[in-house]
A and B are shown apart, each in its own frame.
Chain A
Amino acid sequence: DPKIIQKPKYLVAVTGSEKILICEQYLGHNAMYWYRQSAKKPLEFMFSYSYQKLMDNQTASSRFQPQSSKKNHLDLQITALKPDDSATYFCASSQDRAEQFFGPGTRLTVL
Protein backbone atom coordinates (compact mmCIF):
# COMPACT_ATOMS: atom_id res chain seq x y z
CA ASP A 1 0.00 0.00 0.00
CA PRO A 2 1.34 3.45 -0.80
CA LYS A 3 2.44 5.32 2.29
CA ILE A 4 2.20 8.80 0.79
CA ILE A 5 -0.66 9.50 -1.57
CA GLN A 6 -0.67 12.43 -3.96
CA LYS A 7 -3.62 13.31 -6.16
CA PRO A 8 -3.90 13.79 -9.02
CA LYS A 9 -0.88 12.27 -10.72
CA TYR A 10 -1.23 14.59 -13.71
CA LEU A 11 -2.96 17.96 -13.85
CA VAL A 12 -3.48 20.36 -16.73
CA ALA A 13 -4.71 23.87 -15.99
CA VAL A 14 -5.25 27.10 -17.87
CA THR A 15 -3.48 30.33 -16.98
CA GLY A 16 -5.29 32.25 -14.26
CA SER A 17 -7.13 29.27 -12.83
CA GLU A 18 -6.85 27.73 -9.37
CA LYS A 19 -5.97 24.15 -8.44
CA ILE A 20 -5.53 22.11 -5.28
CA LEU A 21 -2.93 19.38 -4.99
CA ILE A 22 -3.73 16.68 -2.45
CA CYS A 23 -1.29 14.91 -0.12
CA GLU A 24 -1.90 12.32 2.58
CA GLN A 25 0.72 10.38 4.50
CA TYR A 26 0.22 7.15 6.43
CA LEU A 27 3.68 6.82 7.93
CA GLY A 28 2.76 8.41 11.24
CA HIS A 29 5.30 11.17 10.71
CA ASN A 30 5.09 14.48 12.52
CA ALA A 31 6.31 16.68 9.67
CA MET A 32 5.13 17.21 6.10
CA TYR A 33 6.65 19.18 3.26
CA TRP A 34 6.04 20.46 -0.23
CA TYR A 35 8.75 20.61 -2.89
CA ARG A 36 8.74 21.75 -6.48
CA GLN A 37 10.91 20.39 -9.28
CA SER A 38 11.09 21.81 -12.77
CA ALA A 39 13.40 21.66 -15.74
CA LYS A 40 14.74 25.10 -14.77
CA LYS A 41 15.21 24.48 -11.07
CA PRO A 42 16.29 21.50 -9.03
CA LEU A 43 14.34 20.20 -6.09
CA GLU A 44 13.10 23.32 -4.34
CA PHE A 45 11.80 23.37 -0.77
CA MET A 46 8.50 25.24 -0.44
CA PHE A 47 6.87 24.62 2.96
CA SER A 48 7.10 22.49 6.07
CA TYR A 49 4.31 21.72 8.51
CA SER A 50 4.16 19.92 11.81
CA TYR A 51 0.87 18.96 13.45
CA GLN A 52 -0.98 21.38 11.14
CA LYS A 53 1.28 24.27 12.02
CA LEU A 54 3.46 26.08 9.47
CA MET A 55 7.11 25.65 10.45
CA ASP A 56 8.98 27.11 7.49
CA ASN A 57 8.03 28.91 4.29
CA GLN A 58 10.52 29.42 1.46
CA THR A 59 7.97 30.36 -1.17
CA ALA A 60 7.85 34.05 -1.97
CA SER A 61 4.50 34.04 -3.70
CA SER A 62 1.27 34.14 -1.71
CA ARG A 63 -0.39 32.33 -4.61
CA PHE A 64 0.84 29.13 -2.99
CA GLN A 65 -1.09 28.28 0.16
CA PRO A 66 -0.73 25.02 2.07
CA GLN A 67 -3.85 23.69 3.76
CA SER A 68 -3.88 21.11 6.55
CA SER A 69 -7.24 19.72 7.61
CA LYS A 70 -5.69 16.79 9.51
CA LYS A 71 -2.21 16.20 10.85
CA ASN A 72 -1.48 13.66 8.12
CA HIS A 73 -2.88 15.83 5.32
CA LEU A 74 -1.14 18.72 3.64
CA ASP A 75 -2.76 20.05 0.49
CA LEU A 76 -1.36 22.81 -1.70
CA GLN A 77 -3.66 25.43 -3.17
CA ILE A 78 -2.28 27.38 -6.11
CA THR A 79 -4.18 30.42 -7.36
CA ALA A 80 -3.80 32.58 -10.46
CA LEU A 81 -1.77 29.89 -12.18
CA LYS A 82 1.01 30.89 -14.55
CA PRO A 83 2.88 28.83 -17.14
CA ASP A 84 6.01 29.15 -14.97
CA ASP A 85 4.20 27.16 -12.28
CA SER A 86 4.47 24.10 -14.51
CA ALA A 87 6.49 21.58 -12.53
CA THR A 88 6.28 18.36 -10.59
CA TYR A 89 5.17 18.99 -7.04
CA PHE A 90 6.34 16.49 -4.45
CA CYS A 91 4.90 16.03 -1.02
CA ALA A 92 7.16 14.49 1.61
CA SER A 93 7.09 13.57 5.26
CA SER A 94 9.59 12.85 7.99
CA GLN A 95 9.85 12.19 11.67
CA ASP A 96 11.75 15.14 13.16
CA ARG A 97 15.05 15.54 11.29
CA ALA A 98 15.12 12.04 9.91
CA GLU A 99 15.03 11.18 6.24
CA GLN A 100 12.40 12.57 3.94
CA PHE A 101 9.95 10.14 2.36
CA PHE A 102 8.61 11.48 -0.91
CA GLY A 103 5.25 10.89 -2.53
CA PRO A 104 5.02 10.03 -6.24
CA GLY A 105 4.43 13.65 -7.23
CA THR A 106 1.81 15.63 -9.15
CA ARG A 107 2.90 16.82 -12.56
CA LEU A 108 1.26 20.17 -13.23
CA THR A 109 1.14 21.73 -16.68
CA VAL A 110 -0.21 25.26 -17.05
CA LEU A 111 -1.24 26.27 -20.54
Chain B
Amino acid sequence: GDSVTQTEGLVTLTEGLPVMLNCTYQSTYSPFLFWYVQHLNEAPKLLLKSFTDNKRPEHQGFHATLHKSSSSFHLQKSSAQLSDSALYYCALSPNAYKVIFGKGTHLHVLP
Protein backbone atom coordinates (compact mmCIF):
# COMPACT_ATOMS: atom_id res chain seq x y z
CA GLY B 1 0.00 0.00 0.00
CA ASP B 2 0.90 3.67 -0.04
CA SER B 3 2.81 5.09 2.91
CA VAL B 4 5.05 7.93 4.00
CA THR B 5 7.87 7.54 6.49
CA GLN B 6 9.40 10.37 8.46
CA THR B 7 12.06 8.81 10.63
CA GLU B 8 12.64 11.69 13.01
CA GLY B 9 9.98 12.66 15.48
CA LEU B 10 11.98 15.58 16.83
CA VAL B 11 14.91 17.48 15.39
CA THR B 12 16.62 20.06 17.60
CA LEU B 13 19.35 22.29 16.26
CA THR B 14 20.91 25.68 16.73
CA GLU B 15 19.98 28.71 14.66
CA GLY B 16 22.19 29.05 11.60
CA LEU B 17 22.86 25.35 11.17
CA PRO B 18 21.56 23.43 8.14
CA VAL B 19 18.27 21.58 8.29
CA MET B 20 17.46 18.23 6.74
CA LEU B 21 14.20 16.42 7.45
CA ASN B 22 13.86 12.96 5.98
CA CYS B 23 10.94 11.66 3.97
CA THR B 24 10.67 8.37 2.12
CA TYR B 25 7.61 6.89 0.56
CA GLN B 26 6.08 3.79 -0.92
CA SER B 27 3.51 3.95 -3.68
CA THR B 28 2.34 1.74 -6.48
CA TYR B 29 1.60 4.83 -8.54
CA SER B 30 3.57 7.91 -9.51
CA PRO B 31 2.54 10.07 -6.60
CA PHE B 32 2.69 13.78 -6.05
CA LEU B 33 4.77 14.71 -3.00
CA PHE B 34 4.28 17.63 -0.64
CA TRP B 35 5.75 19.22 2.47
CA TYR B 36 3.36 20.97 4.85
CA VAL B 37 4.28 23.10 7.84
CA GLN B 38 2.14 23.59 10.93
CA HIS B 39 2.94 26.24 13.51
CA LEU B 40 1.57 25.99 17.03
CA ASN B 41 -2.23 26.35 17.20
CA GLU B 42 -2.47 26.88 13.45
CA ALA B 43 -3.66 24.77 10.53
CA PRO B 44 -1.18 22.99 8.26
CA LYS B 45 -0.23 24.90 5.15
CA LEU B 46 1.70 23.98 2.05
CA LEU B 47 5.44 24.59 2.08
CA LEU B 48 6.57 22.76 -1.06
CA LYS B 49 5.22 20.49 -3.75
CA SER B 50 6.86 18.48 -6.46
CA PHE B 51 5.06 17.17 -9.47
CA THR B 52 8.09 16.43 -11.64
CA ASP B 53 11.00 14.08 -11.04
CA ASN B 54 14.29 15.74 -10.09
CA LYS B 55 12.86 19.25 -10.10
CA ARG B 56 13.75 21.19 -7.02
CA PRO B 57 10.94 23.34 -5.63
CA GLU B 58 11.91 26.10 -3.22
CA HIS B 59 10.01 28.26 -0.74
CA GLN B 60 11.10 30.40 2.20
CA GLY B 61 14.63 29.06 1.86
CA PHE B 62 13.46 25.44 2.01
CA HIS B 63 13.95 23.08 -0.89
CA ALA B 64 13.32 19.43 -1.64
CA THR B 65 14.20 17.13 -4.49
CA LEU B 66 11.99 14.27 -5.53
CA HIS B 67 14.07 11.19 -6.27
CA LYS B 68 11.95 8.40 -7.64
CA SER B 69 14.95 6.05 -7.71
CA SER B 70 15.27 6.20 -3.93
CA SER B 71 11.62 7.10 -3.21
CA SER B 72 12.69 10.13 -1.23
CA PHE B 73 11.67 13.76 -0.88
CA HIS B 74 13.88 15.16 1.88
CA LEU B 75 13.39 18.74 3.06
CA GLN B 76 16.47 20.93 3.36
CA LYS B 77 17.44 24.47 4.31
CA SER B 78 20.94 25.85 4.45
CA SER B 79 20.50 27.92 7.60
CA ALA B 80 17.80 27.42 10.24
CA GLN B 81 15.93 30.38 11.73
CA LEU B 82 14.09 30.56 15.03
CA SER B 83 10.84 31.09 13.12
CA ASP B 84 11.31 27.71 11.41
CA SER B 85 10.34 25.95 14.63
CA ALA B 86 7.19 24.03 13.72
CA LEU B 87 5.75 20.62 12.85
CA TYR B 88 6.60 19.46 9.33
CA TYR B 89 4.60 16.85 7.47
CA CYS B 90 5.62 15.02 4.34
CA ALA B 91 2.62 13.87 2.31
CA LEU B 92 1.87 12.01 -0.87
CA SER B 93 -1.11 11.93 -3.16
CA PRO B 94 -1.19 8.58 -4.97
CA ASN B 95 -4.36 9.41 -6.85
CA ALA B 96 -7.14 11.92 -6.95
CA TYR B 97 -8.94 12.58 -3.65
CA LYS B 98 -6.51 10.76 -1.38
CA VAL B 99 -3.61 12.24 0.58
CA ILE B 100 -1.42 10.33 3.00
CA PHE B 101 0.53 12.23 5.63
CA GLY B 102 3.60 11.03 7.47
CA LYS B 103 3.75 11.14 11.24
CA GLY B 104 5.41 14.55 11.20
CA THR B 105 8.73 15.90 12.43
CA HIS B 106 8.91 18.57 15.11
CA LEU B 107 11.69 21.01 14.30
CA HIS B 108 12.96 22.97 17.31
CA VAL B 109 15.45 25.71 16.53
CA LEU B 110 17.44 27.03 19.47
CA PRO B 111 19.04 30.47 19.71
Contacts and interface: CB of A to CB of B under 8 A. Distances in A.
B43 A102 contact: yes
Interface in B2-60: 32, 34, 36, 38, 42-46, 49
B93 A42 contact: no
Contact of B46 (A42, A43, A100): A100
Interface string A80-111: 00000000001000001111111111000000
Interface residues of B, number: 23
Interface of B: prevailing SS: strand
Interface residues of A, number: 23
Interface string A4-48: 000000000000000000000000000101010000001111001
Majority DSSP secondary structure for residues of A touching B: strand
A42 B43 contact: no
A55 B94 CA distance: 13
A31 B104 CA distance: 24
A56 B46 contact: no
B98 A45 contact: yes
19 contacts: A31-B96, A43-B38, A45-B98, A45-B99, A48-B98, A49-B97, A50-B97, A55-B96, A56-B97, A90-B44, A97-B32, A97-B96, A98-B49, A99-B46, A100-B34, A100-B36, A102-B43, A104-B43, A105-B43
Interface of A: 31, 33, 35, 42-45, 48-50, 55-56, 90, 96-105
